[in-house]
Amino acid sequence: MIFSTKEDIEAPLEHVFGVVSDFDRFERLALRRGAEVSRMDSLREPGLGMAWDIAFQMRGKRREIEIELTEYDPPNRMLFESRSPGMGGHLIVDLVALSRHRTRLGLELELKPQTLSMRLLVQSLKLAKGNLNKKFKVRVAEYAKAMEESYKSRMA
């Protein structure tokens, strides 16, 4: 099952990449939402091999997932691979400079069930895919708008 969207952002490529690669911020956001987050690598700078072990509650069950940064091409692309019991997947973050002050953000999230129970979970998600895809696109649009505002406030 794949979710994907694109958003054009009124900010330079370097600024947008800086925001989408602020891994410490994402860790803090996940912790605030009740997830348990552990870094599995010892890298001091962002790069290949960064990895996280994350645990959270979803649909009344504890879920555990490992995420690894497997492709890192600043400021253009990042690829994250995820593994959990019964489920795999990836998240692709693509950035394209449309002009000096405009960037296109492309996101693709793919879920790959590997067990019967996870196939059933993904099948139930597919029944609501239209609604979930709309929510995904709205969230990414809000994120893009926040990036634009942060850039404008830095330049003011």
Average pLDDT of the chain?
A: 95
> What's the pLDDT tens digit per position in 118-134?
899 899 989 999 999 99
Query: Which stretches of the chain score pLDDT less than 70?
Result: none
pLDDT of residue 25: 94
Domain tally for the chain? 1
Strand order in the sheet with 36-39: 2-9, 102-113, 87-99, 77-84, 61-73, 51-58, 36-39
Find the domain containing 101 and state its range.
Answer: 2-155
Report the CATH number at residue 123. Answer: 3.30.530.20
